[in-house]
Structure 1
Amino acid sequence: MSESDPIYRKNEEFIWSELDGEAVLLNIKNGDYFSLNDTGLSFWEKVDGARPLSKILEMMFEEYDVQLTVLKQDIGDLAQEMSRKGLLETRE
């Protein structure tokens, strides 16, 4: 795994629920919660601890009508934010 193409896995301390194309994620240990819009939910659902970020971006590019550079920037920023907040972990 390279730092430029990380493989993320979901933090098991979070449970989540989808409603109308959006998601709410709840940390069962401390009660913190986060919401995701439809694009964030699509990313979250594709994180499986096996796919590198590049593969997830490829899948999302087929799903959304957006420039690849914009998608890479937006999802890269989202992944970093989710990592900082403890929702995602980088696979070792």
Structure 2
Amino acid sequence: MTIDQMPIARNPSVMFSEVEQGTVLMNIESGTYFDLDPIGSAVWALLESPATLPELCAALVARYEVDSETCHADVSEFVKELIAVDVLRQG
């Protein structure tokens, strides 16, 4: 299966807090933290429930001035980075 087909979900071991400029995440398993900008925070918020990449992009395209191709490329890269550091999980 490709990244487009499998649901993406938050790692339940990641704690988070919304701050003025976005969202701060902390993976309690690894002790690492991440600072998300407003767009990254929007992706995180949308993943309150598992979603596929096309579902994420549809919601973001409806909310922001971005075309679907750019959104897909950017969100795909972002999601892959967060999966690699175990902030998000797929499947």
- Same fold flag (TM > 0.5): yes
Distance (Å, rounded) in 1 between the aligned partners of 2:5 and 2:40 = 18
Contact 1:21-1:41 at 8 Å conserved across structures: no
Over 2 Å off, 4+ runs: none
Query: TM (normalized to structure 2)?
Result: 0.89
Secondary structure class of the residue paired with 1:5:
coil
Gaps in structure 1 of 5+ consecutive residues: none
Q: In the alignment, is residue 68 of structure 1 matched against residue 78 of structure 2?
A: no
Q: How large is the Cα RMSD of the aligned pairs?
A: 1.2
1:39 equivalent in alignment to 2:39:
yes
Instruction: Say whether 1:52 aligns with 2:52.
Output: yes
Task: Name the structure 1 match of 2:24.
Answer: 24
| Aligned-pair CA distance for 1:21 | 4.2
How far, CA to CA, are the matches of 1:39 and 1:84 in structure 2? 19
1:8, CA displacement in angstroms?
0.7
* Cα deviation, residue 44, structure 1: 0.8
Q: Percent identity?
A: 21
Q: Does the 8 Å CA contact 1:57/1:71 hold for their aligned counterparts?
A: yes
* Secondary structure of the structure 2 residue equivalent to 1:44: helix
Distance in 2 between the 1:19 and 1:70 partners? 26
- Deviation larger for 12-21 or 70-79: 12-21
